[in-house]
Amino acid sequence: MVVVIVVIVIVVIVLLGLWASYNTLVKKRNRTQEAWSEIDVELKRRHDLIPNLVSTVEGYASHEKNTFEAVTQARANAVTAGATGDPNKIAPAENVLSGALRSLFAVAENYPQLRAVESFVQLQETLTATEDKIEYARRYYNTSARDYNIALQSFPRNLVSGPFHFSAVAYYGADEADRAVPVVSFPGSDSASTAPVTSGPPPATDDQAPPSASDEQGPPSAT
């Protein structure tokens, strides 16, 4: 009788462990999905700003056709990559778009009269704010993805991940060059206007993780 009770206790403990592992993976996966959705929203906002930005600069530098075409094509490629939901495809496309935007602001720097155009200033400020949000969202996503991937490989959760089709997610990184924030300075102005282009921190460390109430919700599907 004692043996039977011991066996039952062991079985119950194992089942409870597997149940807890499954719930933990679900929470971490959901948090990663939520984090990714935040990146997706800001990237779409960025894409929406670019046509108006190009149009505004083009009004003052219509001869810079190659630059405008490069930005337009890079944006189209980024939108296409974004539809896949795959960070491995999205990050390179966004990096190319970042480079094209740097060229666009380099052109804008040669036309100080743009500084007096309210629509350009507003677009520049909005893009700056959007880039900041993308950077923050990327940090949060990479932290969530790291925690989730570690959980997948840790015992006893790795016993659950396979049978229930939990799979690792990719980090959303950026090239070192794309972390540089281009500065557009206009002659006669007291300060430089900053127009950042996608910056993206590498997988964040624990102390970089944004505050969260608990290991609860969060962003994209990792299955």
Contacts of residue 65, Cβ cutoff 8 Å, sequence gap at least 6? none
Pick the CATH number of 2-207 from 1.20.1440.20, 3.40.190.290, 3.30.870.10, 1.10.40.50: 1.20.1440.20
pLDDT given at position 186: 37
* pLDDT for residue 178: 47
* Three-state SS annotation for 107-165: HHHCCHHHHHCHHHHHHHHHHHHHHHHHHHHHHHHHHHHHHHHHHHHCCCCHHHHCCCC
Distance CA 54, CA 61 (A): 10
pTM of the complete model = 0.69
Task: Show me where the domains of the chain are located.
Answer: 2-207
What is the chain's pLDDT, residue by residue, as a tens digit (223 residues)? 888 787 888 888 878 888 888 888 999 999 999 999 999 999 999 999 999 989 888 888 878 888 899 999 999 999 999 998 889 899 999 999 988 988 888 888 888 887 778 888 888 888 889 988 998 999 999 999 999 999 988 888 888 877 888 889 999 876 555 444 444 433 333 434 344 434 344 444 444 444 443 344 444 444 3
Separation between Cα atoms, residue 195 and residue 200, nearest integer Å: 15
Question: Do residues 134 and 39 make contact, with C-beta atoms less than 8 angstroms apart?
Answer: yes
Q: What residue type is assigned to position 210 of the chain?
A: P
